Structure 1
Amino acid sequence: MTAQMTSTPQRSSNLATAEQHGFRPHSDGAFVPVQTRSERFRSVNVDGFAPVTGREHEWKYSPVAVFADLTSGDLDGSRIEVESTIREPQDGADAPGVDVSWIGRDDARIGRAGVPEERAAANAWSSFGEALLVTVTGEDEKTVVVTRHGLGAAPRAAHTVIEAAPNSRGLVVLRGTGDARLSENVEIVVGEGASLTVVALQEWSDDAVHLASHFARLGRDAFLKHIVVSLGGKVVRVNPSTHLAEQGSDVEALGLYFADAGQHLEQQVFVHHDAPHTRSRVTYKGALQGDAARSVWVGDVLIGNAATGTDSYEQNRNLVLTDGTRADSVPNLEIETGDIVGAGHASATGRFDDEQLFYLMARGIPEGEARRLVVRGFLTEIIQKIGSPELEERLNAALEAELQGS
């Protein structure tokens, strides 16, 4: 099936039927919200979605006026400039088992992991000309870093496919730097028995806007560690969706973000348990400082009626460093079978732990340094799980630079 033909005929997210789940239309109109995440409308065609107003469930937390050109305007879908570095973590030598190339939009490998659920992703899907393909093969660990830069201020579209062959091992870093107005889709296909880590690293310039939808499909006994790190950019919205499609599949979804004054960092996470004995762990942590710093985290977990033996937990923690910030945190859990190992969710937003601060200051550490130590300890839990010492070191340095302004 080609990318142009891929679509899923489901109820529209804007006009669901009145009888759905027993609900009736409100007195002020025919709108009835879709109650189950899997029932949202999906399409690769931008014309299938109504214009974005900001009142839609998927956009109500977002500054939609800032990126109207990405949701409704024409996008440049030509190749974007990328640099790729392939190496083995142990000695830095070139590693076999990783290939980076370009494929046409009619390639059969496009459209296997997921389909857009909102207009920006559909606009990018309708606009791209070629997709960047990253393939990982072989049982030895290897790392590839793909850096996108020099995108400029014009609205652009991109599409990336990451494929891990059965029983392969690897780490793929997608890094964004410099100026950008980018809407993109990233497809991740993890084959049977494979173990893959994907890091989405946003280090854009201060005025950049980046909207991304990640779709992952996991095979039998496959493992995916998906990490979103958002530090730079004016508006950054990265929404990962993971389909645990076959028995024994396992995802660890992690996120780290640091919102400064006037910065909007958003993540809407979806994990769909669709097979028996699957597992998921979702942990996102963020810090906010400065006037109008804003973070949004929405976590949806759906345990389908065939997903017996599911083990799932999601959590979001936010640390507020100054006045004038706002953190929205919305965990959602849907369970369609009672035969599970466990499922839970948690959310917390708060200021410094005064006892921790007092403990450090009582031992002669100045208040500013004590605050940085507390924040560093709060956030580095995510960095330490990446599995690449070089990348972890660089992110710790970037985090330290952010903390110098706190």
Structure 2
Amino acid sequence: MSAAPTSTTAALPTSEQHGIKAHSDGRFGFVPVQTRNDRFKSVDVADFAPVTGREAVWKLSPVAKFTDLTAGELDGAPYDVASTPTDGVAIDWVGRDDARIGSVGAPEERAAANAWTSFEKALAITVTGEEDKEITITRAQLGTGPRGAHTIIEARPFSRATIILENTGDARITENLEIIVGESAHLTVVSLQEWNTGAVHLANHFASVGRDAYLKHVVVSLGGSIVRVNPSVRLAGPGSDTDLFGLYFADAGQHLEQQVYVHHDAANSRSRVTYKGALQGTGARTVWIGDVLIGRNAPGTDSYEQNRNLVLTEGTRADSIPNLEIETGDIKGAGHASATGRFDDEQLFYLQSRGITEDEARRLVVRGFLSEIVQHIGSKPLEDRLQAAIEAELRSTDEVRAPAPTEEN
């Protein structure tokens, strides 16, 4: 059942209170949302006003380019997925009455609510067994019509697995992914976006991590026109632990966005957030917003988030906004960092002084910058494939930077 919209309004002052009186705009006494976790949530698209682009969650997004996903009707039917049978991993389509649906989170914005309202069945991935296992689940050619989807990943207590969600081909999709990590489970989820050039992908990932459990969440965004993947992780059990990694490479005209939220809601929980991106070409745009909330019930928290962006050419824009809220003083540590810049001239000079060409020196610097994320994935075949994809992006960087040929008379 969807929640009803709520707002908080403070009592209006009286005329005896130092002569204070209400403003003519009618908003006097309005109290805004106080913490990141207090945002309005609902699974019903009708509970959200039409998107204007002025909302906090949309103000950095090109909302006019995907109104069909925020306001239009969506195809919520099941779609084709490909995978190799793997012991300890079950893949099924389940009905909307499955008890796991809605157990982790709920939409905070209209596109996610539209997907939740529209999906017919959810793709359920269930992990059991204490042995390590890896599976790749591929979606390809979802078409160009607007689509809504829902996925559940459940790692049963003490289970271990790496789940790679591979997205390729054409798509216009808004979706929700719920991740349930049971007690002492160890789960890695990799979301890989290698869509075709015109694809639009809006995704919200909700995760709950249980007692002494661990979640590694990796977002890799390389293809697509607009890709917006927003992970939200609640460290719900004592001793819960998470690493959130992100890698993105924006080309000319691409918009790659990620809004990351970590909620420490249990004692002695730990989180690390590391996102890195590169930008090249006119109109390349990236957005990273990182929110960490250390709640009153989370003494002993250890948390750190960081975002780094490397600008390779002129005409790009990277927005990087870290936020940290702390509601208890009994923590081990908390911090955040953000940086956006161009190549380090000293690094380039050092490499060139040893006989390396400028173009190759630039590739080495970028490769080293992004490889930190790739090496954390833990799947050697996927790591090798992503290194090759980065090399392809860097070769196109050389083409972008190369001067246009001139005609000889």
TM-score range, shorter chain: over 0.9
- CA positional deviation for 1:26: 7.7
The amino acid that maps onto 1:150 is: Q
1:52-71 deviation line (CA, Å, top 9, x unaligned): 00000000000000011100
Residue 146 of structure 1, aligned match among 98, 118, 137: 137
- CA positional deviation for 1:281: 0.2
SS at match of 1:62: coil
Residue 225 of structure 1, aligned match among 209, 216, 224: 216
1:222-280 deviation line (CA, Å, top 9, x unaligned): 00000000000000000000011110000100000000000000000000000100000
Paired residue for 1:132? 123
Question: For residues 307 and 26 of structure 1, do their structure 2 counterparts lie closer, same or farther at Cα, with a shift above 3 Å needed?
Answer: farther
Paired residue for 1:355? 346
- CA positional deviation for 1:85: 2.4
Paired residue for 1:43? 42
Contact 1:80 1:158 in 2 (8 A): no
1:172-199 deviation line (CA, Å, top 9, x unaligned): 0111101100000000000000000000
1:329-375 deviation line (CA, Å, top 9, x unaligned): 00000000000000000000000011111111111111111101100
TM-score by length of 1: 0.93
The amino acid that maps onto 2:263 is: H
Distance 1:29 1:304 in 2: 33
Paired residue for 2:232? 241
SS at match of 1:297: strand
Distance 2:58 2:194 in 1: 23
SS at match of 2:198: coil
Question: For residues 376 and 45 of structure 1, do their structure 2 counterparts lie closer, same or farther at Cα, with a shift above 3 Å needed?
Answer: same
Distance 1:103 1:25 in 2: 52
Question: For residues 341 and 130 of structure 1, do their structure 2 counterparts lie closer, same or farther at Cα, with a shift above 3 Å needed?
Answer: same
Q: Does 1:297 align with 2:288?
A: yes
- CA positional deviation for 1:33: 3.8
Q: Does 1:380 align with 2:379?
A: no
- CA positional deviation for 1:84: 1.4
Deviates more, 1:224-233 or 1:34-43: 34-43
Paired residue for 2:82? 83
Distance 2:22 2:388 in 1: 53
SS at match of 2:368: helix
Paired residue for 1:62? 61
Q: Which sections of structure 1, spanning at least 5 residues, go unmatched?
A: 87-94
Contact 1:25 1:32 in 2 (8 A): no
Paired residue for 1:404? 395
Distance 2:165 2:343 in 1: 32
The amino acid that maps onto 2:191 is: A
Contact 1:10 1:40 in 2 (8 A): no
Q: Does 1:261 align with 2:260?
A: no
Contact 2:308 2:339 in 1 (8 A): yes
1:369-402 deviation line (CA, Å, top 9, x unaligned): 1101100100010010000000101111111111
Number of residue pairs matched?
A: 387
Contact 1:18 1:25 in 2 (8 A): no
Question: For residues 368 and 32 of structure 1, do their structure 2 counterparts lie closer, same or farther at Cα, with a shift above 3 Å needed?
Answer: farther
Q: Does 1:119 align with 2:110?
A: yes
Question: For residues 135 and 19 of structure 1, do their structure 2 counterparts lie closer, same or farther at Cα, with a shift above 3 Å needed?
Answer: farther
The amino acid that maps onto 1:39 is: D
Contact 1:10 1:39 in 2 (8 A): no
* Divergent runs of 4+, >6 A: 24-27
Distance 1:158 1:333 in 2: 31
Question: For residues 352 and 189 of structure 1, do their structure 2 counterparts lie closer, same or farther at Cα, with a shift above 3 Å needed?
Answer: same
Paired residue for 2:406? none
The amino acid that maps onto 2:357 is: P
Paired residue for 2:316? 325
Paired residue for 2:269? 278
Bigger-Rg structure (1/2)? 2
Distance 2:22 2:121 in 1: 43
Distance 2:9 2:360 in 1: 56
Residue 336 of structure 1, aligned match among 324, 327, 350: 327
Deviates more, 1:229-238 or 1:109-118: 109-118
Paired residue for 2:191? 200
Contact 2:5 2:47 in 1 (8 A): no
1:294-319 deviation line (CA, Å, top 9, x unaligned): 00000000000110000000000000
Distance 1:267 1:290 in 2: 20
Contact 1:290 1:324 in 2 (8 A): yes
SS at match of 1:83: coil
Question: For residues 279 and 26 of structure 1, do their structure 2 counterparts lie closer, same or farther at Cα, with a shift above 3 Å needed?
Answer: farther
What is the root-mean-square deviation of aligned Cα atoms in Å?
A: 1.6
TM-score by length of 2: 0.92
Distance 1:10 1:126 in 2: 16
Distance 2:25 2:208 in 1: 40
Contact 1:133 1:161 in 2 (8 A): yes
SS at match of 1:85: coil
